[in-house]
């Protein structure tokens, strides 16, 4: 049996594997493998609290370079923590750091794919999601065009997803619990950024949808049940 095709994910907590004490909080990368046949191995290197620059500075990208092979994929999704003081500027340092992921993957014969950040659950009075991610999604789109990199617009896809649920029901996608409802959150929690299991699976399915829309060769390994929606 030959080596499996590997899909590496570099990102933040919205994609990361969450520890048991945070369950049922879950990043979309935690369930991404469920979208593919057993011919694909998902290596979820996403880590909470990381920006495009801190992921590199902490050596996390080096860990991917140690394992990635020609023909593998690198999915790149940053933005939430790039907004923070330790992060990047959307039109200057952000694309500069993202380019290190893109160029490094290509140098190793792997295929980079950019994913704009997932939206936060930030509904306006008109019942639509208000952008809370500044210029980062637009900057990533511009970089994708400039460097001819496939892009899955998760910012747009999650906006449509949340709005289809509406301001109230959309809490079902996130880590939202009343006091006493969940043992890991005895005081309750209202988290508008991090998904629960339902949300993570919905978002992972949107990633799979994006793979098909881009006509990436990876689409051949998406499970039929996911392909058919």
What whole-number distance in Å separates Cα of residue 114 and Cα of residue 62? 18
Catalytic residue among 13, 51, 117, 139: 13
Whether the CB-CB separation of 73 and 10 falls below 8 Å is answered with: no
Q: Which of the 8 DSSP states describes residue 128?
A: S
Of 187, 177, 173, the residue nearest 118 (C-alpha): 173
**What SS3 class is residue 174?**
strand
Active site residue 194: yes
Catalytic residue among 58, 194, 197, 224: 194
Active site residue 187: yes
**What SS3 class is residue 8?**
strand
Q: Which of the 8 DSSP states describes residue 113?
A: E
What whole-number distance in Å separates Cα of residue 208 and Cα of residue 93? 29
Catalytic residue among 107, 125, 187, 224: 187
Whether the CB-CB separation of 36 and 224 falls below 8 Å is answered with: no
Q: What angle do CA 176, 42, 65 make, to 5 degrees?
A: 115
Catalytic residues: 13, 187, 194
């Amino acid at each position: 049996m030959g080596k499996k095709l590997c899909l590496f994910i570099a990102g933040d907590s919205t994609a990361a594997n969450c520890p048991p004490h945070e369950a049922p909080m879950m990043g979309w990368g935690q369930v991404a493998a469920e979208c593919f046949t057993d011919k694909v191995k998902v290596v979820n290197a996403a880590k909470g609290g990381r920006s495009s620059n801190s992921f590199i500075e902490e050596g996390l990208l080096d860990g991917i370079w140690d394992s990635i092979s020609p023909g593998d994929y690198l999915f790149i999704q940053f933005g939430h923590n790039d907004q923070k003081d330790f992060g990047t500027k959307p039109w200057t340092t952000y694309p500069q750091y993202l380019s290190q992921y893109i160029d490094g993957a290509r140098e190793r014969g792997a295929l980079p794919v950019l994913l704009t950040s997932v939206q936060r659950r930030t509904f306006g009075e008109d019942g639509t999601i208000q952008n809370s991610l500044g210029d980062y999604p637009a900057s990533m789109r511009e970089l994708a065009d400039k460097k001819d990199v496939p892009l899955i617009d998760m910012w747009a896809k999650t906006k449509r997803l949340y709005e289809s649920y509406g301001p109230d029901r959309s809490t079902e996608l996130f880590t939202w619990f009343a006091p006493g409802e969940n043992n890991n959150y005895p005081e309750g929690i209202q988290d508008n950024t991090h998904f629960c299991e339902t949300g993570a699976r919905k978002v992972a399915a949107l990633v799979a949808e994006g793979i098909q829309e881009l006509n990436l060769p990876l689409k051949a390994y998406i499970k039929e049940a996911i392909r058919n929606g």
